[in-house]
Chains A and B, each alone.
Chain A
Amino acid sequence: MSSFNGLQAFETPEYLAARIDRLGGPESYNHYAVGWAHAMNTPYQWAKQVASHWGGTRNGTIVSWPEGIAAKGEIRTQFTHVIDVVPTILEAAGLPHPVAVDGIPQDPIEGVSMLYAFDHPAAPERHETQYFEMLCNRGIYHKDWTAVTKHRTPWAPMNAPVPPFDQDVWELYAPDDWTQAHDLAKEKPEKLRELQRLWLIEAGRYKVLPLDDRMLERLNPDTAGRPVLVRGKTQLLFGGMGRLSENCVLNMKNRSHAVTALIVVPDAGAEGVIIAQGGNFGGWCLYANDGKRKYCYNWSGFRHFMLESDRAIPAGTHQVRMEFTYDGGGLGKGGTVALFIDG
Chain B
Amino acid sequence: MIFSADDGCDVGEDSGAPVSPDYPAGANRFNGTVKGVELAIAEAAENADHLVDPREVVRLALARQ
As a 0/1 sequence over residues 38 to 58 of chain B, the CB contacts with chain A under 8 angstroms (1 = contact) are: 111111111100111010010
Partner-contacting stretch, out of A182-190, A200-208, A235-243: A235-243
User: Interface majority SS on B: helix, strand, loop or mixed?
Assistant: loop
Q: Determine whether the beta carbon of A257 is less than 8 Å from that of B41.
A: yes
As a 0/1 sequence over residues 276 to 314 of chain A, the CB contacts with chain B under 8 angstroms (1 = contact) are: 111111111101110000101010000010100000000
Chain B residue nearest to A290 (CB atoms) is B22
Given A242-B10, A259-B39, check contact A277 B22 (CB 8 Å): no
Q: Give the residues in chain B near A179, CB-CB below 8 Å.
A: none
* Cβ contacts A to B, 16 pairs, < 8 Å: A1-B3, A5-B2, A26-B25, A233-B42, A233-B45, A238-B60, A242-B9, A242-B12, A249-B39, A252-B41, A255-B41, A256-B42, A257-B41, A273-B23, A277-B9, A296-B19
**CA distance in complex: A1, B16 (Å):** 15
**CA distance in complex: A235, B25 (Å):** 26
Q: Determine whether the beta carbon of B1 is less than 8 Å from that of A220.
A: yes
As a 0/1 sequence over residues 1 to 26 of chain B, the CB contacts with chain A under 8 angstroms (1 = contact) are: 11111011111111111111111010
Given A245-B8, A246-B3, check contact A274 B37 (CB 8 Å): yes
Q: Determine whether the beta carbon of B8 is less than 8 Å from that of A246.
A: yes
Cβ-based interface call for A116 (8 A): no
Q: Give the residues in chain B near A304, CB-CB below 8 Å.
A: 20-21
Q: Give the residues in chain A near B44, CB-CB below 8 Å.
A: 233-234, 258
Q: Give the residues in chain B near A280, CB-CB below 8 Å.
A: 17-19
**CA distance in complex: A27, B18 (Å):** 10
Cβ-based interface call for A254 (8 A): yes
B17, B20, B44, B50 — which one has the most chain A CB atoms within 10 A of its CB? Answer: B20
Q: Determine whether the beta carbon of B16 is less than 8 Å from that of A343.
A: no
Q: Determine whether the beta carbon of A319 is less than 8 Å from that of B9.
A: no
**CA distance in complex: A198, B32 (Å):** 61
Output the least CB separation between A250 and chain B (Å): 4
Cβ-based interface call for A323 (8 A): yes
Q: Which of B1, B11, B60 has a CB less than 8 Å from the CB of A219? A: B1
Q: Determine whether the beta carbon of B51 is less than 8 Å from that of A244.
A: no
